[in-house]
Amino acid sequence: MATDYYAVLGVRRDASQDEIKKAFRRLARELHPDVNPDPKTQERFKEINAAYEVLSDPQKKQVYDLGGDPLSQAGGGAGGFGAGGFGNFSDIMDAFFGTASQRGPRSRTRRGQDAMIRLDIELDEAAFGTTKDIQVDTAIVCTTCNGEGAAPGTSAQTCDMCRGRGEVSQVTRSFLGQVMTSRPCPQCQGFGTVVPTPCPECAGDGRIRSRRTLTVKIPAGVDNGTRIQLAGEGEVGPGGGPAGDLYVEIHELPHAMFQRRGDDLHCTVTLPMTAASLGTKVPLETLDGLEEVDIRPGTQSGQSIPLHGRGVTHLRGGGRGDLIVHVEVMTPSKLDPEQERLLRELALLRGEERPTGQFQPGQQGLFSRLKDAFNGR
Query: Given the DSSP bridges, would you call strands 227-230 and 193-194 parallel, antiparallel or unpaired?
Result: unpaired
275 Cβ neighbours under 8 A, 6+ residues apart: 295
Q: Distance between alpha carbon 98 and the CA centroid of its chain, in Å?
A: 27
Q: Is 267 annotated as a binding residue?
A: no
E strands within 62-206?
115-121, 130-141, 157-158, 167-174, 177-184, 193-194
Amino acid occupying residue 78: A
Quick one: three-class SS letters along 58-71? HHHHHHHHCCCCHH
CA dist 16 and 273 (Å) reads 91
CA dist 347 and 354 (Å) reads 9
Q: Are 194 and 161 in contact (CB under 8 A)?
A: no
Question: How much is the CA Rg of the chain, to the nearest whole Å?
Answer: 41
CA dist 33 and 39 (Å) reads 9
Q: Is 142 annotated as a binding residue?
A: yes
Q: Is 199 annotated as a binding residue?
A: yes
Q: Are 275 and 265 in contact (CB under 8 A)?
A: no
> For the residues of 250-264, what is the DSSP string, one character each?
EEEPPPSS-EEETTE
CA dist 126 and 224 (Å) reads 9
280 Cβ neighbours under 8 A, 6+ residues apart: 271, 295
Q: In what order do the strands lie in the sheet with 264-272?
A: 259-261, 264-272, 323-330, 304-307
Q: Are 144 and 210 in contact (CB under 8 A)?
A: no
163 Cβ neighbours under 8 A, 6+ residues apart: none
Residue list, annotated binding site: 142, 145, 159, 162, 185, 188, 199, 202
Residue list, annotated binding site for Zn(2+): 142, 145, 159, 162, 185, 188, 199, 202
